[in-house]
Structure 1
């Protein structure tokens, strides 16, 4: 059984950690004993709430304002994490954007933003982390079940961006494997968050596609990430792992 404290003394950076899945991951890693840095773009209050929750529980956490579409901001976040906590052990790339439109109506601006945040940021963050990460570290990308199944119109660019993480993880796993660094993608299905609430406008169409008949919870994704961040997952790498309630089954 995975020990809750198996990441005791490690340091982690969660890109996009102020709300939803990212906030749940930050709290769960901190509960396991990791010092956690989390980034946000505009929601300073939400980010500070996560930090306050962690520190009140006896953990260490900081919030860093950083837009994942900005290469320099990502690199500064990695550097700040290392400088603040003295090491860099775990990168969770959770930042992402979602734009839905038929391909013939999709704007170039939305294409560029989707690729910048969902794909390029993952590459830049992986590169920056690899340069400072301790041997035995962990890189975990938060992808989507839509990399495997896109059952509705308008999601082509989003699905493409999440599929790209699979190739990145496989290649990076080869690059970093000799150092004991694992690289994986966690692919959630519909999760009850502000972006896609379980009682929101998309739920009626999505729930019938789920083998479990329900949306997932952010804490369930966070628990999965925490397992991959720990020592028991040291032989899992280059993998894209579903936590989607059977959406793609």
Structure 2
């Protein structure tokens, strides 16, 4: 969707180069422009190299979509979720600022289960993600006035469980009752629906700062 809008899309990945290049190829086949950009966003040196490369190749960065999320992986240490979902997000945004001109946008992608934490219950095992994603959102919101002074908009897009994603499959294994409870309450948004809202935020077509996708019961 971003490629169709005329942006050159940089698809960041840590280990899954084949998957990232698959997205790049799909964008190019559709007539868009895209590149893969390998970097572990938890690694300061990798982030510094990534931003330097973007500056040298493109000069500016108009949109930064902070979509990385983790904490349910097998073998992850207790501090991993916070390092990825809060620290890395803030650090990447901070590193990117010198490349972002007035009118640029930062889009932080989160879930209702994290955005409404701790006021709403979360599925079994999801609490480390909810806590750290909420912390990441709060940290970025605290920087919002400083971003506004530079003419940079911060958007938050929060979605209910997104049907067909890996996170729903992982949650299904850990707490199938919680996933089925969500399905009974509301039709889960699709990847396409969620992507459309993220794209609207990234392109500034939606002027709301906080965008909710699905899960109407969370909003009452």
Flag whether TM exceeds 0.5 (same fold): yes
Matching of residue 39 in structure 1 with residue 12 in structure 2: yes
Matched, 1:229 2:202: yes
Deviations 1:94-124 (A, max 9, x none): 11113389xxxxx9x6321111111111111
Inter-CA distance 217–75: structure 2 relative to 1 (3 Å threshold): farther
Q: 2:18 and 2:152 mapped to 1: Cα distance? A: 33
2:85 to 101, 104, 118: 118
Establish whether residue 196 from structure 1 lines up as the match of residue 163 from structure 2: no
Q: 1:206: Cα distance to partner?
A: 2.0
Moved over 4 A (4+): none
Superposition map of 1:93-242 within 5 A: 93-99=66-72, 110-147=77-114, 148=116, 149-191=120-162, 192-197=164-169, 200-201=172-173, 202=175, 204-210=177-183, 213-233=186-206, 235-237=207-209, 239=210, 241-242=211-212
Q: Give the Cα separation in 2 of the matches to 1:187 and 1:175.
A: 22
Q: For residues 25-55 of structure 1, give each alpha carbon's deviation from its aligned partner in whole angstroms, at most 9, with x where no partner exists.
A: xxx2111111011111111111111111111
Instruction: State the TM-score, normalizing by the size of structure 1.
Output: 0.76
Calculate the aligned-residue CA RMSD, in Å: 2.6
Matching residue of 1:30: 3
Structure 1 residues 145 and 110 mapped into 2: Cα distance closer, same or farther (>3 Å)?
farther
Cα distance in 1, alignment partners of residues 67 and 108 from structure 2 = 6
Distance 1:77 1:150 in 2: 37
Alignment partner of 1:78 is 2:51: yes
Whether the 8 Å contact between 1:193 and 1:218 is mirrored in structure 2 is yes
Partner of 2:216: 246
Contact 1:139 1:181 in 2 (8 A): yes
CA contact (8 A) 2:172 2:179 kept: no
Asked if 2 retains the 8 angstrom alpha-carbon contact of 1:35 and 1:59, the reply is yes
Q: Which has the higher contact order (CA 8 A, sep 6+)?
A: 1
What SS class does the counterpart of residue 48 from structure 1 fall into? helix
Tell me the secondary structure at the aligned position of residue 167 of structure 2: coil
Please list every run of 5 or more consecutive structure 1 residues that lacks an aligned counterpart in the other structure: 1-27, 102-106
Please give the per-residue CA displacement for 1:176-220, whole angstroms capped at 9, x wherever unaligned. Answer: 112321112212221121332499545553243357633221111
* 2:168 and 2:179 in contact (8 A); partners too: no
Scaled by the length of structure 2, the TM-score of the pair is 0.85
Unmatched runs of 5 consecutive residues or more in structure 2 = none
